[in-house]
Amino acid sequence: MSWKTHSLTWGEKTLVMGILNVTLDSFSDGGKYFEFDTAMAHAEKMAADGADIIDVGGESTRPYSEPISTEEELRRTIPVITELAKRVSVPISIDTTKAEVARQALSAGAAIINDISAFRLDPEMPLLAAETGVPVILMHMQGTPGTMQTSPKYDDLIGEIKAFFEKVITAALEKGIARSKVIIDPGIGFGKTFSHNFQLIRHMSAFESFGVPILAGPSRKAFIRNKLKPGTHDDIHPEKPVVEIGTQAAISAAVLNGAHVVRSHNVANTCATLKIIDAIKNA
């Protein structure tokens, strides 16, 4: 996948997308990297640790989260992307559902659009992607972040998600986006029960039929914390070491079952995990 001054190679090496949340309320690290200097330091560390992509998001998409204004999202993300593009050579993705945020982010130095709505929330987004020729990540989500975890139901989990991707990929192509620039994300944790998430990881290979790279994002999510919590109703904090162990297990399974790129909060640990997993996969 080559565009402008960037390229990504899919195959023997699984790629790592490092997560940079410049938000106050993300489930995993809310507020930790909200300030400019801490965001910069964390992003540069992720690049040094081996990240192939750095994903910058200014609006939390955790379950039951409330949307923020375009102006606030721009205020959070654009200064970070502008400076980060000067400091790292890996492509930066903008995690947004708003075309105006994506447009300004691309002008500031971002090179990938990561849209959790798969273009369903802003009709201008596919036109922008086609015009700029950048890669796009299209994710499956049942509902919106505010509603997605209110009793998600499927008659055929994998079949329904495949039908969704058939529809949104076709729509993207019709808008002028090249198939070679499309990445799909089955949306672990987005409108899924805990059981659904484990099923998605187990059957990740079902999405290989689309002939495009598959992204998996299980990092620190509630289905992992729920499975690992002690015999009480208390949740485990996302940054606890045991959650990191669970995350690496989920990442390993996703890659062995077909994921080409994984989204991670801890890039150093994920890169170490993938050195072994990729060696096993390619043996």
pLDDT in tens, 130-148: 999 999 999 999 876 666 5
Catalytic site residue 75? no
What three-state secondary structure class fits 86? helix
Global pTM value:
0.91
Question: What pLDDT score was predicted for residue 161?
Answer: 97
pLDDT in tens, 85-109: 999 999 999 999 999 999 999 999 9
Is 1 part of a structural domain of the chain? no
Catalytic residue among 221, 227, 229, 240: 221
pLDDT in tens, 2-12: 998 999 999 88
Question: What pLDDT score was predicted for residue 147?
Answer: 65
Domain holding 63, by residue range, is 12-281
What three-state secondary structure class fits 168? helix
Query: What is the overall mean pLDDT for the chain?
Result: 91
Is 255 part of a structural domain of the chain? yes
Question: What pLDDT score was predicted for residue 146?
Answer: 63
Catalytic residue among 76, 263, 275, 281: 263
Question: What pLDDT score was predicted for residue 68?
Answer: 84
φ/ψ of residue 138, rounded to 5:
-110, 120
CATH number at residue 18: 3.20.20.20
Catalytic site residue 221? yes
CA dist., res. 6 & res. 62, Å (int): 30
Q: What is the 3-state secondary structure (H, E, C) of 150-162?
A: CCCCCCCHHHHHH
Average pLDDT over residues 9-33: 77
Is 256 part of a structural domain of the chain? yes
Our count of domains for the chain comes to 1
